[in-house]
Structure 1
Amino acid sequence: MTCSSSSSSSAAMRFAVLGQKDAMLRALYELAQVKRTSAIEVIVISPSNAATIPHSANVVDVCASLGYRYILGSTNEVVLEALCDFRPDLLISILWPRKVSKQMLDACRCCINFHPSLLPRHRGSLTQFWTIFEGDAEGGTTCHHMVEAFDAGRILHQVAVKVSPSETALSLSLKIAAATEQCFQHVLGEFLRSDGKLSE
Protein backbone atom coordinates (compact mmCIF):
# COMPACT_ATOMS: atom_id res chain seq x y z
CA MET A 1 0.00 0.00 0.00
CA THR A 2 1.18 3.53 -0.76
CA CYS A 3 -0.04 6.56 1.12
CA SER A 4 -0.05 9.42 -1.36
CA SER A 5 -1.17 12.97 -1.92
CA SER A 6 -3.31 13.85 -4.91
CA SER A 7 -2.43 17.54 -4.87
CA SER A 8 -1.34 18.95 -8.20
CA SER A 9 2.18 20.29 -8.54
CA SER A 10 0.84 23.85 -8.68
CA ALA A 11 -1.22 23.57 -5.49
CA ALA A 12 0.12 24.18 -2.01
CA MET A 13 0.69 20.97 -0.09
CA ARG A 14 -1.40 20.90 3.07
CA PHE A 15 -0.09 19.71 6.44
CA ALA A 16 -2.17 19.29 9.60
CA VAL A 17 -0.29 18.84 12.88
CA LEU A 18 -2.05 17.30 15.87
CA GLY A 19 0.12 17.52 18.93
CA GLN A 20 1.56 19.09 22.00
CA LYS A 21 4.75 19.68 23.97
CA ASP A 22 8.28 20.42 22.82
CA ALA A 23 8.44 17.60 20.28
CA MET A 24 5.52 19.11 18.37
CA LEU A 25 6.99 22.63 18.50
CA ARG A 26 10.23 21.33 16.99
CA ALA A 27 8.25 19.86 14.10
CA LEU A 28 6.57 23.21 13.49
CA TYR A 29 9.95 24.89 13.11
CA GLU A 30 11.03 22.16 10.68
CA LEU A 31 7.95 22.83 8.56
CA ALA A 32 8.85 26.53 8.61
CA GLN A 33 12.11 25.66 6.86
CA VAL A 34 10.12 23.92 4.12
CA LYS A 35 7.78 26.90 3.86
CA ARG A 36 10.69 29.13 2.89
CA THR A 37 11.18 27.32 -0.41
CA SER A 38 7.92 25.45 -1.08
CA ALA A 39 4.23 26.29 -1.26
CA ILE A 40 2.70 24.69 1.81
CA GLU A 41 -0.22 25.40 4.12
CA VAL A 42 -0.15 24.35 7.77
CA ILE A 43 -2.82 24.10 10.42
CA VAL A 44 -1.93 23.23 13.99
CA ILE A 45 -4.37 21.60 16.39
CA SER A 46 -3.45 21.16 20.04
CA PRO A 47 -5.51 19.99 23.03
CA SER A 48 -4.39 23.03 25.04
CA ASN A 49 -2.87 26.40 24.22
CA ALA A 50 -0.86 26.57 27.44
CA ALA A 51 2.88 25.99 27.62
CA THR A 52 3.44 22.48 28.97
CA ILE A 53 6.92 23.19 30.35
CA PRO A 54 7.69 26.31 32.42
CA HIS A 55 9.30 29.05 30.29
CA SER A 56 8.70 27.07 27.08
CA ALA A 57 7.12 28.62 24.01
CA ASN A 58 3.36 28.92 23.76
CA VAL A 59 1.95 27.12 20.73
CA VAL A 60 -0.34 30.04 19.87
CA ASP A 61 2.61 32.43 19.76
CA VAL A 62 4.69 29.99 17.72
CA CYS A 63 1.91 29.56 15.16
CA ALA A 64 1.43 33.32 14.89
CA SER A 65 5.15 33.87 14.31
CA LEU A 66 5.32 31.16 11.64
CA GLY A 67 2.11 32.05 9.83
CA TYR A 68 0.22 28.88 10.73
CA ARG A 69 -3.48 28.69 11.46
CA TYR A 70 -4.03 27.55 15.05
CA ILE A 71 -7.07 25.61 16.29
CA LEU A 72 -7.77 24.65 19.89
CA GLY A 73 -8.85 21.02 19.56
CA SER A 74 -10.83 20.90 22.77
CA THR A 75 -13.15 18.15 21.49
CA ASN A 76 -13.00 15.42 18.86
CA GLU A 77 -15.85 17.15 17.04
CA VAL A 78 -13.78 20.33 16.66
CA VAL A 79 -10.83 18.32 15.34
CA LEU A 80 -12.94 16.38 12.85
CA GLU A 81 -14.58 19.53 11.53
CA ALA A 82 -11.19 21.19 11.05
CA LEU A 83 -9.74 18.19 9.21
CA CYS A 84 -12.79 17.78 6.97
CA ASP A 85 -12.61 21.46 6.06
CA PHE A 86 -8.84 21.49 5.46
CA ARG A 87 -8.42 18.04 3.84
CA PRO A 88 -4.68 17.73 4.54
CA ASP A 89 -2.27 15.89 2.30
CA LEU A 90 -0.43 14.77 5.44
CA LEU A 91 -1.75 14.48 8.98
CA ILE A 92 1.07 14.49 11.52
CA SER A 93 0.33 13.33 15.06
CA ILE A 94 2.91 14.06 17.76
CA LEU A 95 1.96 13.20 21.35
CA TRP A 96 -1.73 13.66 20.62
CA PRO A 97 -3.49 12.52 23.82
CA ARG A 98 -6.73 11.20 22.34
CA LYS A 99 -7.67 8.47 19.88
CA VAL A 100 -7.76 9.61 16.27
CA SER A 101 -11.01 8.26 14.86
CA LYS A 102 -11.51 6.55 11.52
CA GLN A 103 -13.48 9.59 10.37
CA MET A 104 -10.48 11.80 11.09
CA LEU A 105 -8.12 9.43 9.28
CA ASP A 106 -10.46 9.28 6.29
CA ALA A 107 -10.44 13.08 6.03
CA CYS A 108 -6.68 13.04 5.31
CA ARG A 109 -4.78 11.61 2.36
CA CYS A 110 -1.91 10.30 4.49
CA CYS A 111 -1.63 9.96 8.27
CA ILE A 112 1.48 9.38 10.36
CA ASN A 113 2.18 9.30 14.07
CA PHE A 114 5.37 9.89 16.03
CA HIS A 115 5.27 7.59 19.05
CA PRO A 116 7.73 8.01 21.96
CA SER A 117 9.04 4.45 22.08
CA LEU A 118 10.71 1.93 19.83
CA LEU A 119 7.63 0.09 18.64
CA PRO A 120 6.45 -2.59 18.94
CA ARG A 121 7.63 -2.12 22.54
CA HIS A 122 5.52 0.07 24.80
CA ARG A 123 2.45 0.86 22.77
CA GLY A 124 0.04 3.28 24.40
CA SER A 125 0.85 5.86 27.06
CA LEU A 126 3.47 6.35 29.80
CA THR A 127 6.15 5.07 27.46
CA GLN A 128 9.06 6.74 29.27
CA PHE A 129 8.02 5.12 32.55
CA TRP A 130 7.72 1.67 30.99
CA THR A 131 11.02 2.01 29.13
CA ILE A 132 12.82 2.70 32.42
CA PHE A 133 10.75 0.26 34.50
CA GLU A 134 11.43 -2.61 32.10
CA GLY A 135 15.16 -1.86 32.15
CA ASP A 136 15.44 -1.16 28.42
CA ALA A 137 18.90 -0.17 27.22
CA GLU A 138 17.34 2.07 24.56
CA GLY A 139 14.27 4.21 24.11
CA GLY A 140 13.39 6.42 21.20
CA THR A 141 10.85 7.53 18.65
CA THR A 142 8.94 5.61 16.00
CA CYS A 143 7.14 7.10 13.01
CA HIS A 144 4.41 4.84 11.66
CA HIS A 145 1.38 4.97 9.43
CA MET A 146 -1.79 5.56 11.43
CA VAL A 147 -4.56 2.98 11.49
CA GLU A 148 -7.58 2.62 13.76
CA ALA A 149 -5.73 0.47 16.30
CA PHE A 150 -3.34 2.29 18.63
CA ASP A 151 0.29 2.37 17.46
CA ALA A 152 -0.25 -0.55 15.10
CA GLY A 153 0.49 0.90 11.65
CA ARG A 154 3.46 0.01 9.48
CA ILE A 155 6.73 1.46 10.82
CA LEU A 156 8.42 4.05 8.59
CA HIS A 157 11.44 5.12 10.63
CA GLN A 158 12.91 4.92 14.14
CA VAL A 159 15.52 6.91 16.05
CA ALA A 160 16.97 5.34 19.21
CA VAL A 161 18.47 6.97 22.30
CA LYS A 162 20.47 5.39 25.10
CA VAL A 163 18.86 4.97 28.51
CA SER A 164 21.32 5.70 31.31
CA PRO A 165 21.24 3.94 34.72
CA SER A 166 20.18 7.23 36.35
CA GLU A 167 17.52 8.04 33.74
CA THR A 168 14.27 9.68 34.83
CA ALA A 169 11.03 10.03 32.90
CA LEU A 170 11.77 13.75 32.44
CA SER A 171 15.34 13.30 31.22
CA LEU A 172 14.24 10.54 28.85
CA SER A 173 11.41 12.75 27.57
CA LEU A 174 13.96 15.42 26.63
CA LYS A 175 16.09 12.87 24.79
CA ILE A 176 13.04 11.55 22.96
CA ALA A 177 11.98 15.07 21.95
CA ALA A 178 15.34 15.46 20.19
CA ALA A 179 14.97 11.99 18.64
CA THR A 180 11.50 12.92 17.41
CA GLU A 181 12.94 15.97 15.68
CA GLN A 182 15.50 13.79 13.88
CA CYS A 183 12.84 11.25 12.95
CA PHE A 184 10.55 14.00 11.69
CA GLN A 185 13.30 15.49 9.52
CA HIS A 186 13.89 12.11 7.90
CA VAL A 187 10.25 11.26 7.21
CA LEU A 188 9.33 14.77 6.07
CA GLY A 189 12.26 14.74 3.67
CA GLU A 190 11.12 11.42 2.23
CA PHE A 191 7.56 12.71 1.86
CA LEU A 192 8.71 15.82 -0.01
CA ARG A 193 11.27 14.04 -2.19
CA SER A 194 8.68 11.46 -3.26
CA ASP A 195 6.13 14.16 -4.16
CA GLY A 196 3.81 13.34 -1.30
CA LYS A 197 4.13 9.56 -1.10
CA LEU A 198 5.12 7.33 1.78
CA SER A 199 5.31 3.67 0.81
CA GLU A 200 4.44 0.85 3.15
Structure 2
Amino acid sequence: MSDASKKRQTFEDPTAADLQTQPLYIVGLGASAGGLTALEQFFQSVPTDSGLTFIVVQHLSPDFKSLMDELLAKQTSITIRQIVDDTPIEPNTIYLAPPRKNLLLEKKRLYLVDPEPHPKLFLPIDAFFRTLAEHSGKQAIAVVLSGAGSDGTEGIKHISRAGGLVLAQEAASAKFDAMPLNAQATGLVDWVLPPQRMPQNI
Protein backbone atom coordinates (compact mmCIF):
# COMPACT_ATOMS: atom_id res chain seq x y z
CA MET A 1 0.00 0.00 0.00
CA SER A 2 1.38 3.43 -0.91
CA ASP A 3 2.06 6.11 1.73
CA ALA A 4 -0.71 8.19 0.19
CA SER A 5 -3.15 5.30 0.49
CA LYS A 6 -2.24 4.83 4.14
CA LYS A 7 -2.94 8.50 4.79
CA ARG A 8 -6.30 8.54 3.08
CA GLN A 9 -9.37 8.56 5.29
CA THR A 10 -12.94 7.66 4.35
CA PHE A 11 -15.87 9.64 5.75
CA GLU A 12 -19.28 8.07 5.23
CA ASP A 13 -22.50 9.60 6.55
CA PRO A 14 -21.25 10.69 9.99
CA THR A 15 -24.01 11.04 12.57
CA ALA A 16 -24.12 13.90 15.07
CA ALA A 17 -22.79 11.55 17.75
CA ASP A 18 -19.97 10.41 15.47
CA LEU A 19 -18.91 14.00 14.86
CA GLN A 20 -18.56 14.56 18.61
CA THR A 21 -16.08 11.70 18.92
CA GLN A 22 -14.30 11.86 15.54
CA PRO A 23 -10.96 13.63 15.23
CA LEU A 24 -11.45 16.85 13.30
CA TYR A 25 -9.85 16.51 9.89
CA ILE A 26 -9.03 19.95 8.51
CA VAL A 27 -8.39 20.68 4.83
CA GLY A 28 -6.37 23.83 4.20
CA LEU A 29 -6.70 25.09 0.63
CA GLY A 30 -4.19 27.62 -0.67
CA ALA A 31 -4.92 29.49 -3.89
CA SER A 32 -3.86 32.62 -5.72
CA ALA A 33 -4.25 33.67 -9.36
CA GLY A 34 -6.75 31.41 -11.11
CA GLY A 35 -7.76 29.92 -7.80
CA LEU A 36 -11.47 30.70 -7.95
CA THR A 37 -12.08 28.26 -10.80
CA ALA A 38 -10.07 25.58 -9.01
CA LEU A 39 -12.00 26.12 -5.77
CA GLU A 40 -15.32 25.93 -7.58
CA GLN A 41 -14.31 22.65 -9.22
CA PHE A 42 -13.08 21.26 -5.91
CA PHE A 43 -16.20 22.06 -3.90
CA GLN A 44 -18.54 20.83 -6.62
CA SER A 45 -17.19 17.36 -5.82
CA VAL A 46 -17.37 17.53 -2.01
CA PRO A 47 -20.40 15.87 -0.35
CA THR A 48 -22.22 18.06 2.15
CA ASP A 49 -21.74 15.47 4.91
CA SER A 50 -18.04 14.70 4.39
CA GLY A 51 -17.21 15.38 8.05
CA LEU A 52 -14.33 17.61 6.91
CA THR A 53 -13.56 21.22 7.81
CA PHE A 54 -12.31 23.41 4.94
CA ILE A 55 -10.23 26.56 5.41
CA VAL A 56 -9.50 28.62 2.29
CA VAL A 57 -6.54 31.01 2.17
CA GLN A 58 -6.22 33.19 -0.92
CA HIS A 59 -4.02 36.06 -2.02
CA LEU A 60 -6.33 39.08 -1.98
CA SER A 61 -5.72 42.83 -2.00
CA PRO A 62 -6.75 44.43 1.33
CA ASP A 63 -9.16 46.78 -0.45
CA PHE A 64 -10.65 44.03 -2.62
CA LYS A 65 -14.24 43.07 -1.81
CA SER A 66 -14.29 39.35 -2.36
CA LEU A 67 -17.41 37.65 -3.66
CA MET A 68 -15.92 34.25 -2.97
CA ASP A 69 -18.66 33.22 -0.56
CA GLU A 70 -21.41 34.12 -3.03
CA LEU A 71 -19.65 32.42 -5.93
CA LEU A 72 -18.90 29.22 -4.03
CA ALA A 73 -22.46 29.10 -2.73
CA LYS A 74 -23.57 28.62 -6.34
CA GLN A 75 -21.46 25.45 -6.52
CA THR A 76 -22.13 23.83 -3.14
CA SER A 77 -24.68 23.75 -0.34
CA ILE A 78 -21.96 23.35 2.30
CA THR A 79 -22.13 26.12 4.93
CA ILE A 80 -19.72 28.97 4.11
CA ARG A 81 -18.44 31.40 6.74
CA GLN A 82 -16.08 34.37 6.71
CA ILE A 83 -13.34 34.10 9.32
CA VAL A 84 -13.24 36.74 12.05
CA ASP A 85 -10.95 36.73 15.06
CA ASP A 86 -11.67 33.85 17.45
CA THR A 87 -13.83 31.80 15.07
CA PRO A 88 -14.70 28.28 16.29
CA ILE A 89 -14.46 25.66 13.55
CA GLU A 90 -16.84 22.80 12.85
CA PRO A 91 -17.04 19.96 10.33
CA ASN A 92 -18.99 20.29 7.09
CA THR A 93 -18.16 23.99 6.87
CA ILE A 94 -16.03 26.14 4.54
CA TYR A 95 -14.15 29.01 6.22
CA LEU A 96 -12.79 31.90 4.12
CA ALA A 97 -9.78 33.88 5.32
CA PRO A 98 -9.87 37.69 5.02
CA PRO A 99 -7.21 39.55 2.98
CA ARG A 100 -3.83 40.55 4.46
CA LYS A 101 -4.18 38.48 7.61
CA ASN A 102 -2.36 35.39 8.77
CA LEU A 103 -4.33 32.68 10.53
CA LEU A 104 -3.49 31.00 13.82
CA LEU A 105 -5.27 27.75 14.67
CA GLU A 106 -5.52 26.79 18.34
CA LYS A 107 -7.94 24.42 20.10
CA LYS A 108 -10.29 24.31 17.11
CA ARG A 109 -10.50 28.11 16.91
CA LEU A 110 -9.13 30.49 14.27
CA TYR A 111 -7.43 33.74 15.19
CA LEU A 112 -6.41 36.60 12.90
CA VAL A 113 -2.81 37.77 13.08
CA ASP A 114 -1.37 40.87 11.42
CA PRO A 115 1.64 40.11 9.21
CA GLU A 116 5.02 41.61 9.94
CA PRO A 117 5.15 45.27 8.84
CA HIS A 118 6.67 45.66 5.38
CA PRO A 119 7.54 42.00 4.81
CA LYS A 120 9.53 41.17 1.69
CA LEU A 121 6.88 38.62 0.83
CA PHE A 122 3.44 38.02 2.34
CA LEU A 123 2.96 34.25 2.38
CA PRO A 124 -0.32 33.51 4.18
CA ILE A 125 -0.61 29.98 2.78
CA ASP A 126 2.76 28.95 4.21
CA ALA A 127 1.81 30.53 7.53
CA PHE A 128 -1.49 28.69 7.69
CA PHE A 129 -0.07 25.31 6.71
CA ARG A 130 2.46 25.66 9.55
CA THR A 131 -0.19 26.33 12.18
CA LEU A 132 -2.41 23.61 10.68
CA ALA A 133 0.40 21.06 11.01
CA GLU A 134 1.03 22.06 14.63
CA HIS A 135 -2.67 21.91 15.50
CA SER A 136 -3.85 18.82 13.62
CA GLY A 137 -0.82 16.64 12.91
CA LYS A 138 -1.94 13.54 11.01
CA GLN A 139 -5.43 15.03 10.66
CA ALA A 140 -4.03 17.94 8.58
CA ILE A 141 -4.63 18.01 4.83
CA ALA A 142 -2.97 20.63 2.61
CA VAL A 143 -4.16 21.45 -0.91
CA VAL A 144 -2.12 23.73 -3.19
CA LEU A 145 -4.15 25.14 -6.08
CA SER A 146 -3.56 27.51 -8.99
CA GLY A 147 -1.34 30.50 -8.36
CA ALA A 148 1.84 32.35 -9.24
CA GLY A 149 4.89 32.17 -7.01
CA SER A 150 5.68 29.55 -4.39
CA ASP A 151 3.40 30.24 -1.43
CA GLY A 152 2.51 26.91 0.17
CA THR A 153 5.78 25.20 -0.73
CA GLU A 154 7.39 25.74 2.68
CA GLY A 155 4.13 25.08 4.47
CA ILE A 156 3.61 21.62 3.02
CA LYS A 157 6.94 20.56 4.49
CA HIS A 158 5.42 21.04 7.94
CA ILE A 159 2.27 19.15 6.94
CA SER A 160 4.33 16.24 5.60
CA ARG A 161 6.58 16.08 8.68
CA ALA A 162 3.47 15.99 10.88
CA GLY A 163 2.16 12.98 8.95
CA GLY A 164 -0.59 14.87 7.13
CA LEU A 165 -1.73 14.54 3.53
CA VAL A 166 -0.55 16.87 0.74
CA LEU A 167 -2.29 17.42 -2.61
CA ALA A 168 -1.35 19.72 -5.48
CA GLN A 169 -3.30 20.71 -8.55
CA GLU A 170 -2.30 19.05 -11.80
CA ALA A 171 -0.40 21.72 -13.74
CA ALA A 172 -2.35 21.17 -16.95
CA SER A 173 -5.59 22.07 -15.15
CA ALA A 174 -4.24 25.21 -13.43
CA LYS A 175 -4.57 28.68 -14.94
CA PHE A 176 -1.30 29.55 -13.19
CA ASP A 177 0.85 26.52 -12.49
CA ALA A 178 3.80 27.95 -10.51
CA MET A 179 2.38 27.29 -7.04
CA PRO A 180 1.41 23.67 -7.64
CA LEU A 181 4.62 22.95 -9.58
CA ASN A 182 6.79 24.42 -6.81
CA ALA A 183 4.93 22.26 -4.31
CA GLN A 184 5.47 19.16 -6.45
CA ALA A 185 9.18 19.93 -6.74
CA THR A 186 9.59 19.22 -3.01
CA GLY A 187 8.78 15.55 -3.59
CA LEU A 188 6.33 15.70 -0.67
CA VAL A 189 3.04 15.81 -2.60
CA ASP A 190 0.98 12.64 -2.14
CA TRP A 191 -1.54 13.32 -4.92
CA VAL A 192 -1.32 15.45 -8.09
CA LEU A 193 -4.83 15.80 -9.46
CA PRO A 194 -7.28 18.19 -11.11
CA PRO A 195 -9.40 19.88 -8.40
CA GLN A 196 -12.59 17.93 -9.10
CA ARG A 197 -10.81 14.62 -8.40
CA MET A 198 -9.17 15.68 -5.17
CA PRO A 199 -12.08 15.17 -2.72
CA GLN A 200 -12.39 11.46 -3.51
CA ASN A 201 -8.73 11.01 -2.53
CA ILE A 202 -8.98 12.74 0.84
Q: TM-score, normalised by structure 1?
A: 0.49
For the pair shown, the structure with the greater C-alpha radius of gyration is 1
